[in-house]
Amino acid sequence: MVKIGSIELCDFPLLLAPMEDVSDPPFRAVCKKNGADLMYTEFISSEGLIRDAAKSIQKLDIFEYERPIGIQLFGSEIKSMREAGIIADNANPDLIDINYGCPVKQVACRGAGAALLQDIPKMVLMTSEIVKIAHRPVTVKTRLGWDDASKNVVDAAERLQDVGISALTVHGRTRAQLYKGEADWTLIGEIKNNPRIKIPIFGNGDVDSPDKAKLMKDRYGVDGIMIGRASIGYPWIFNEIKHFLKTGGYLPTPNITDRVNTCKAHLDFSIKWKSKHAGIVEMRRHYTNYFKGLPNFKDYRLKLVTTYSYDEIITLLNEVENKYSQNEIL
């Protein structure tokens, strides 16, 4: 059993990564149904939260069936992050996570996310302030370092543990890499095998199959794995990994009916959570991923991402199911 503070997880938990414009409640619902053990909200701006920005406030929405779930915060100012931490704490998540890993320009170049890897003392102080105000475990997600010349995550891990974090997730790239090249888990393994480290260490980066999950588990000894991009349009990856780790065998890949039904459930929740119009628009980014690999899908995709009619979307999805089930190729 893996414990994050008082939160008890299974022996090798699989975590759904916090992803902007992806890991909202509708997406989390399909991932939870398909085996995600711990999930996070989209990352939330501390400045947006303390200014009551509607988009930031809405990201605090969590549902009982999602538990355990963490709210993830990012920001560049310690005072703002502390205030945002109080707001997040009052939203009653199971844990609060701090984002020191986001590499995108809009975040990192404003001194937040991965930018804090350039100022470990500030990172540690910011973390300490949030630990002090939180009534639940505080965790951190970060990267190896800012660039190849400053891979300082091993030192950062010790110092973050010393100020009270309850778990650490490390993405195996530097900020300079963004999402390019291969993730390097070497330093993640070094942190996990550091005798000073007593908290759970989760690895993240490039795990997109059961085989790769087992390889990272066996090679680096991590306590669990966080999965991000590989789950987009493919929430089945969580149960596929669990089954493989338990039995050494592979679950059947989802057929076209599985994909269509999951897509419909995702759409319905999206509409229920936001509104009919917003839910339909939000789903447009997901169709390509749910039906990746289907030949001659372009015409269907074009219709799905341009219509505002729920009935037309359902009709199109039914057509997709009927057409491709005749010659199952997934």
| pLDDT tens per residue across span 44-68 | 999 999 998 888 998 999 999 999 9
Q: Select which of 10, 102, 109, 263 is catalytic.
A: 102
3 state DSSP class of 312: helix
What the block records as the tokens of 233 is 């349009």
Answer yes or no: is pLDDT of 141 > 70. yes
7 is a domain residue: yes
Backbone angles phi, psi at 260, to 5 degrees: -65, -45
Q: Out of 247, 275, 309, pick the residue that ends a domain.
A: 247
pLDDT at 328: 55
- The pair phi, psi for residue 138, each rounded to 5°, is -115, 130
Domain end, chosen from 247, 266, 296, is at 247
Looking at the fold, whether 286 and 204 belong to one and the same domain comes out as no
Question: The domain spanning residue 310 has which CATH number?
Answer: 1.10.1200
Query: What pLDDT is recorded for position 171?
Result: 97
- Dump strand ranges (E) for the chain: 2-4, 7-9, 14-16, 38-40, 44-45, 69-74, 95-100, 138-143, 167-171, 201-204, 224-227
pLDDT at 109: 80
Q: How confident is the model at residue 121 (pLDDT cuts 50, 70, 90)?
A: very high
Considering the chain, what percentage of its residues have pLDDT values greater than 70? 98
Q: Which amino acid is at 169?
A: T
Domain count, the chain: 2
Say if residue 95 is in the same domain as residue 156. yes
Q: Based on the domain organization, do 180 and 114 belong to the same domain?
A: yes
277 and 180, same structural domain?
no
Task: Determine the 3-state secondary structure of 69 from DSSP.
Answer: strand
Q: What is the mean pLDDT of the chain?
A: 94
In a domain, 330, yes or no: no
- What local confidence, expressed as pLDDT, does residue 327 receive? 62
> By residue range, what is the domain housing residue 123?
2-247
In this predicted structure, the answer to whether residue 320 has a pLDDT above a threshold of 60 is: yes
Same domain, 155 and 213: yes
Q: In the listed set 217, 247, 277, which residue is the last one of a domain according to the structure? A: 247
Same structural domain, 265 and 134: no
Q: Which helix (H) or strand (E) holds 99?
A: strand 95-100
Give the residue with greater pLDDT, 68 vs 102: 68
Q: Does residue 218 share a domain with residue 263?
A: no
Domain identity same for 152 and 285: no
Let me know whether 80 and 175 are in one domain: yes
Which tokens go with 51? Answer: 């200014």
> Are both 277 and 168 inside the same structural domain?
no
Residue 58: how many CB atoms within 10 A of its CB? 15
316 and 185 within one domain: no
If asked whether residues 320 and 198 sit together in one domain, one would say: no
Helix, strand or coil for residue 194?
coil
Residue 21 has pLDDT above 90, yes or no: no
Q: What is the pLDDT of residues 150-174, one digit of tens each?
A: 899 999 999 999 999 999 999 999 9
* Domain of residue 80, CATH code: 3.20.20.70
SS3 string, 289-304, reads HHCCCCCCCHHHHHHH
Structure tokens at 178: 């963004």
Q: What is the mean pLDDT of residues 199-217?
A: 97
Does residue 263 carry a catalytic annotation? no
